[in-house]
Amino acid sequence: MPDERLGALEFLSNATRAREAHYRERAAHLRMMAVDEPLGRLRHKLTDLAEQFEQLADRITIERGGRRAFAKPISW
């Protein structure tokens, strides 16, 4: 039984890190799109979306003891 629990915690830890990395990659991609965007309004929207993805990534944390925690949700 302890091995199953460790496996579940390891899975959650890996999944959380993967999700955080995905959000940061998405933010970087949106920022690159914004740099090349000639329309100021669209460029601003892309930058805003990138910031929201960064905020999501920043909210994902691993606490001591292996528990997953989230800060207050983002209000869209």
How confident is the model over 11-20, as pLDDT tens digits? 888 888 899 9
CB 62: neighbour CB atoms within 10 A?
A: 15
Tokens of 36: 């090349």
CB 21: neighbour CB atoms within 10 A?
A: 12
The answer to whether the predicted template modeling score (pTM) of the entire model surpasses 0.85 is: no
Q: Is pLDDT above 60 for 74?
A: no
Interior CA angle at 61 toward 58 and 66, to 5°? Answer: 170
Residue 63 confidence class, pLDDT cut points 50, 70, 90: very low
Q: Rounded to an integer, what distance in angstroms lies between the CA atom of residue 59 and that of residue 56?
A: 5
Q: Is pLDDT above 90 for 25?
A: yes
